[in-house]
Amino acid sequence: MNPLSATARTRPGRLGERSSTDRSVLYEILDDGMICHLGLIVDGSPRVLPTGYGRLDDTLYVHGSTGASSLRAGPSQDICVTVTHVDGLVLARSLFNHSINYRSAVVYGTPRLVDDPEEKLTGLRAITEQLTPGQWDAARHPNRKELAATSVLALSLDEASVKVRQGPPEDEEEDYALDVWAGVVPVRQTLGSPAPDPLLRPGIPIPGHIARRVTS
């Protein structure tokens, strides 16, 4: 597995000890997420949009309506995609040293519009499975009209940066004598009990791939 290569945009300006060139760490951060933030210029103004995504090997897929100005503008420029996980609130003895335990990935590049029908379905499958593994095979697949109304962009993971902070607070030496509680408050994302659609026909159980994920 090739390590991430540093570029002018991915080389850390500060806190370099938190950066990583391990491509497997990039994969883990992306695979653990549900929503990314897509940053680009639309009509001369910066725009950052939360959107679903999916990863397949070294390609990141995002999708949206063919009428979305952001999707139309994307292939003509460099874009930025970010994914961030907050893993803990780091409470120090001094306010200056408060921090957050996090994992973040930033991907740069010029995306391409996916025109090939097979790759388009592959990208949509990756996005669907990112949110709910197993759902692609459980639900009706998009028809021609729906595919025509959907744009898929593919972004290479060639240029990306990763930063991770873990562990307890780091206080000034003289502050360790203060009578102030310090430590980490973990932050976790959990899935709740599935709520059936009010129009769901009677007798249709919760699919196993959903039930297993909620109870695991």
pTM here?
0.92
C-alpha–C-alpha distance, residues 107 and 83, integer Å: 9
Domains of the chain: 16-215 (2.30.110.10)
CA atoms within 13 Å, Cβ hemisphere of 70: 19
- 174-199 pLDDT, tens digit each: 999 999 999 999 999 999 999 999 99
Question: Is 15's pLDDT higher than 80?
Answer: no
Q: Give the chain's largest Cα–Cα span.
A: 68
The residue among 209 and 214 whose pLDDT is bigger is: 209
Question: Is 216's pLDDT higher than 70?
Answer: no
E-strand ranges in the chain read 19-20, 35-42, 45-56, 59-65, 79-91, 99-109, 112-113, 150-156, 159-165, 183-186
User: Taking residues 19-31, what's their average pLDDT?
Assistant: 93
pLDDT band at 3 (very low <50, low <70, confident <90, very high): confident
CA atoms within 13 Å, Cβ hemisphere of 29: 29
Report yes or no: 88 and 187 within 8 Å, Cβ to Cβ: yes
DSSP letter at 57 equals T
- 50-91 pLDDT, tens digit each: 999 999 999 999 998 888 888 888 888 999 999 999 999 999
